[in-house]
Amino acid sequence: MAAAGAAADGESPGQRPRSDIVELLGAAPQGFARAMLPRPFRFPGDHGAHNDFRSEWWYYTGNLATGGGRRFAFQLTFFRFALSPQAPVRASAWASNQVYMAHFAVTDVAGERFHAAERFSRGALELAGVEADPFRVWLGNWQASAAGAFFPQTLRADDGGYAIDLRLDGGKPLILNGDAGLSQKSAEPGNASYYYSIPRIAVSGSLATPDGLWQVDGAAWFDREWSSSALAADQVGWDWFALQLSDGRDLMVYRLRSRDGGTDPHSAGTLVEASGQALGLGAQDFILDELDHWRSPGSGARYPSRWRLRVPGAAIDVEIIPEIPDQELDLAFRYWEGASRVTGTSASAQVSGHGHVELTGYAPGGVVMPR
């Protein structure tokens, strides 16, 4: 399968049919590398593509504000999918077994507006791709790039009057999630990913909406995963939270949901102290309660829309509230991903904070991307 409809600059004129995405994600993992055991991570190489695995992503989210306090948020994610374990043996410069997809979204909190867009391209002719050193991932003119080392980086994307031009200056150290970077998603061997994060990154630059252009600053979160697996047969989706607290702590947890409505025991997370020290969390280490719900007028999906999250061992008890209810991306993958605010206690002291929440597997006809 090629990225049909991709224009010469790497942009797709419309959404890719969901049937094609289902076919792509449903491909058997035979012949692809699997995440079986912990491995040494080597940088900058591991910032680049791992083409022997079926899929991976480079995931940026951030919460921003103007000097006057007007708040925005963004998501910019690049996905790579391998169509087959081996590259095609053809002379054509168009030939590639790699397909790229990118999602771009902006939340205008004061304006109560959310805008999301996607693009597709094959990984050929410089239309889309990844380079490790110097780092660059791009699809058309949407890109994250660094002149040398991984930071500082520049993020650029635009669609429909919305745009970001942001500088990322680094922050907390890179952390490995799970077992030294091996994130097990079910009991089946190989049903896992390699997963690392940079949980707090200083951001500054400009953000545009149809109403105007603003100078902004704030904090971003960077996630990296690659794998050849999908969710297990008894798993239906996940609820993922990345929170940056005012006391300097950062918290990532994901709840894998079982078909019976329960929490899969392979749910997990990572707590990062203000010092950068990381502590892995298992399903038994956090309690997530849904406090409210919201029904999408577009898809009809009923999503959780407010939560209480407790990590008793770290004395964390917070409430998470979406900045605006409707942050559903009705794209080739239909899911909810949005900016949220946080209030509560951490280490028994009052805290506030911001973060992003990702909810998959709720929408009729939606496709669950393996996390």
- Cα–Cα nearest to 63, from 363, 354, 270: 354
Indicate whether 118 pLDDT > 80.
yes
Q: Burial of 297 by CB count in 10 Å (0-12 exposed, 13-18 middle, 19+ buried)?
A: exposed
Average pLDDT score over residue span 80-100 = 81
Indicate whether 13 pLDDT > 60.
no
Q: Where are the domains of the chain?
A: 18-25+32-359
Q: What is the pLDDT of residue 111?
A: 96
Average pLDDT score over residue span 225-235 = 88
Least confident of 76-90, 267-281, 298-312: 76-90
- Cα–Cα nearest to 220, from 173, 263, 168, 151: 168
Tens-place pLDDT, residues 359-370: 999 987 555 555
Q: What is the pLDDT of residue 6?
A: 30
pLDDT band at 5 (very low <50, low <70, confident <90, very high): very low
* Phi then psi dihedrals of residue 297, to 5 deg: -70, -20
Average pLDDT score over residue span 154-163 = 98
Indicate whether 124 pLDDT > 70.
yes
Contacts with 242 (C-beta within 8 Å, 6 or more apart), sequence order: 61, 197, 199, 221, 223, 250, 251, 252, 355, 356, 357
Q: What is the pLDDT of residue 87?
A: 72
Share of residues in the chain with pLDDT > 90 (%): 78
Rg value, the chain, Cα? 19
Tens-place pLDDT, residues 231-281: 888 899 999 999 999 999 999 999 999 999 899 999 999 999 999 999 999
| Rounded-to-integer distance, Cα 307 and Cα 321, Å | 7
Indicate whether 230 pLDDT > 80.
no
Indicate whether 285 pLDDT > 90.
yes
Share of residues in the chain with pLDDT > 70 (%): 89
pLDDT band at 1 (very low <50, low <70, confident <90, very high): very low
Indicate whether 88 pLDDT > 80.
no
Q: What is the pLDDT of residue 238?
A: 94
What letters, b where the CB count within 10 A reaches 16 and e where it falls short, cover 104-141? bbbbbbeeeebebbbbbbbbbbebbbbebeebbbbbbe
Give strand pairing partners of 25. none
HSE-up (13 A, CA, CB side) for residue 80:
30
Tens-place pLDDT, residues 174-202: 999 999 999 999 998 899 999 999 999 99
Q: Burial of 53 by CB count in 10 Å (0-12 exposed, 13-18 middle, 19+ buried)?
A: buried
Q: What is the pLDDT of residue 367?
A: 53
Check the CA dihedral 58-40-231-266 and report its sign.
negative
Q: What is the pLDDT of residue 332?
A: 86
Average pLDDT score over residue span 43-67 = 97
pLDDT band at 208 (very low <50, low <70, confident <90, very high): very high
Average pLDDT score over residue span 49-58 = 96
Helices in the chain by DSSP H: which ranges? 18-25
Q: What is the pLDDT of residue 180?
A: 98
Q: What is the pLDDT of residue 22?
A: 45
Domain 18-25+32-359 has CATH 2.40.370.10: yes
Amino acid of residue 365:
G
Q: What is the pLDDT of residue 27?
A: 54
